[in-house]
Structure 1
Amino acid sequence: MAVHVEGGGGLIPANWNGDPEPSGTAAAEGREKLEIELLLEAIYRAYGYDFRNYAYDSIRRRIRHGMQTLGESSVSALIPRILHEPEQMRRLLQSLVINVTEMFRDPSMFKAFREKVVPFLHTYPHIRIWHAGCSTGEEVLSMAILLEEEGLYDKARIYATDIDERALEKARAGIYPLRNMKLYTQNYIRAGGTREFSDYYTADRDAVKFHSSLQRNVMYARHNLATDQSFNEFNVILCRNVLIYFDRKLQNRARRLFHESLAMFGVLALGSRETIRHNDYSECYEAIDDGEKLYRRMR
């Protein structure tokens, strides 16, 4: 319903409250947000990838990168592309997922794990470790090396999961650029490594392949923290620098999933920018090393 205002030159909505129309910038941002919501809903319904509760600013940056990759000038133009051309969805997915990792990333965490967690793991007959969001596998191999050096690997099983199947393929291959080895060697030494890091891989031209024996107790599988459920009980869960990309709702879902999957007195390892505090499960954990984000489940 609209009413005519004398001398006004047009119709004004009856429910108009006197506020001016949104500015051009605000209107454009509102349209973009709606387009992003529609795109993420289409991705979820068509492919099962659920990015709907990722932190908005982060997912918007990644979608804009995907627009450049696919040569589109608007978010809405991506929708028919990904619905009718599965290959374009695979290309867009590479922009939406975050595969930033390195061997022994945050070396002080691995050193603290070696000194403060490993002694407890020695008391277990079997060790199940879940590496959630394992990306291309560098940190999985780091943990395998640590367990090998501490005499624990033969009784351990590492379940390494990620949403991105292409990242998992790279993790299974265990092949990485030779140029990264200087940094990885430095990280390994700072993490308390006890051998020569080069003993674990073979170099060939501009790449290195880590020895297949390091993968003997690793199982890789696709798992989506936004939609999938617990699949085992674990003594250790590592999910480092993943929750920072989720909004609060999805963070809470992941924390509940970890709590349901972690055995009593099991260890949860988070990323350097993540916290165990301010959620429904905060009181269920005690700090093993709060600075390195290592926590033990107590109830």
Structure 2
Amino acid sequence: MDSFLITDDYVELLLSDLLEQYGYDFTGYSRASLKRRISRLYSLDKLLSFAEFRYKVLNDQVYFKRFVEQLTVNVTEMFRDPSFFRTLREVVLPKLGTYPFIRIWLAGCSTGEEAYSISIILKELNLLHKSLIYATDLNPAVLEIAAQSMFAMSQMKQYSENYILSGGTDDFSKYYTASYSLAKFDDELKKKIIFSTHNLVSDHSFNEFQLILCRNVLIYFNRDLQHNVLDLFDESLEDLGYLALGSKETVEFSRVSSKYKRLKGEKIWRKVG
């Protein structure tokens, strides 16, 4: 069951299966990352042969779902990279606060920690009532988790520290109620979040936004796909809007780079046209 059994050819076979059978296009994803994730799943599930593995992915809906989850899962936490959230709180959102309405797209929202973090900041800036956060992901399973607004109680100490480092001054625990091993976040925070599936590879722009966040998703894509996704974000972002990417991602060298000016310190760009 060693990972070397998953060869490059096997990876390509699985990718073409996914595209033909389900319309999921992973062909632009980084091969090294996909191979690691597929190999991990293969050894975890202790299947007898690659043929059996492939058969299950193609014919067993439940297993197919698990397969896509393993390929797309992103590790996340609330107020991850606190200095980034501090910049949102002190620079970006106050600027957008002068607008009559704020539309935010969080692409690749995973299990929703980032969406609730933004919702908390908007509430503290008294902007939540006139904001809408569209939180999208390719993976329907993580969206189901996100919509429950429940996270592990064991994470709260870390999240609370992140919150304070990001400029939060309230008692973080006022935003959730503890229920056994879970923290259930207030419904008020969720009211302004719309969770829905969106495939960055194949789906189009669906609104015009003032702020788009897509952090640590592009690193899984090859260069062509990164450029296509940045084009999609550019189409979806209004002039003077903000685009936020992950720490290893950039707008530079893309087709749209000339329209964007980077803020000091963070991977946030303003669209200056």
TM-score, normalising length: structure 2 = 0.95
- Structure 2 gaps of 5+ residues are none
- Counting aligned pairs with the same residue, the percent is 45
What residue is the counterpart of 1:158 in the other structure? 133
1:141 aligns with 2:141: no
Query: Does the alignment pair 1:189 with 2:164?
Result: yes
Report Cα offsets for 1:52-103 as digits up to 9, x if no partner.
1100100000110121233236545422221121122112122211230000
Q: Supply the distance in 2 between the matched residues of 1:162 and 1:245 (Cα, whole angstroms).
A: 14
Closer, same or farther: CA 286–179 of 1 in aligned 2, 3 Å: same
1:84-134 Cα distance to aligned partner (Å, 9 max, x none): 211221121222112300000000001011111122112100110000000
Q: Does 1:39 align with 2:14?
A: yes
SS in 2 for 1:295: strand
Equivalent residue pairs, number: 270
Moved more, 71-80 or 89-98: 71-80
Partners of 1:134 and 1:160 within 8 A in 2 = yes
The CA deviation string for residues 199-219 of structure 1, in whole angstroms up to 9 with x for no partner, is 000001111100111011111
Contact 1:128–1:236 (CA under 8 A) maintained in structure 2: yes
Instruction: Tell me the CA shift for residue 43 of structure 1.
Output: 1.1
Alpha carbons 1:39, 1:76 under 8 Å: kept: no
Q: Distance in 2 between matches of 1:283 and 1:98?
A: 32
TM-score scaled to structure 1, two decimals? 0.87
Give secondary structure in 2 for the equivalent of 1:292. coil
Distance 1:246 1:213 in 2: 35
User: In 2, distance between residues paired with 1:36 and 1:60?
Assistant: 6
Counterpart pick for 1:170 among 127, 139, 145? 145
Distance 1:271 1:261 in 2: 18
CA RMSD of aligned residues (A): 1.5
> Which of structure 1's runs of 4+ aligned residues deviate more than 3 A?
73-77
* Contact 1:285/1:297 (<8 A) preserved: yes
**CA–CA separation in structure 1 for the residues paired with 2:90 and 2:60:** 50
Q: Contact 1:267–1:296 at 8 Å: present in 2 too?
A: yes
Q: Deviations over 1:153-184 (max 9, x none)?
A: 11000000001111001110011111000100
Of residues 244, 258, 273, the one that matches 1:283 is 258
The one of 201, 209, 219 aligned to 1:226: 201
Counterpart in the other structure of 1:17 = none
- What is the aligned counterpart of 1:199 among 149, 174, 179? 174
Task: Indicate the residue corresponding to 1:271 in structure 2.
Answer: 246
The separation in 2 between residues aligned to 1:146 and 1:214, in whole angstroms, is: 10
Matched, 1:91 2:62: no
- Corresponding residue for 2:272? 298
Q: How does 1:21-60 map to 2 (within 5 A)?
A: 32-60=7-35
**Match of residue 16 from structure 1:** none
The amino acid of 1:298's aligned partner reads V
Residue in structure 2 matched with residue 20 of structure 1 by the alignment: none
Given the superposition, is the C-alpha separation of residues 280 and 226 from structure 1 closer, same or farther in structure 2, using an over 3 Å criterion? same
Q: Which has the larger radius of gyration?
A: 1
CA distance in 2, matches of 1:265, 1:77: 52
Q: Does 1:117 align with 2:125?
A: no
- Contact 1:67–1:74 (CA under 8 A) maintained in structure 2: no
- The answer to whether structure 1 residue 104 and structure 2 residue 79 are counterparts is yes
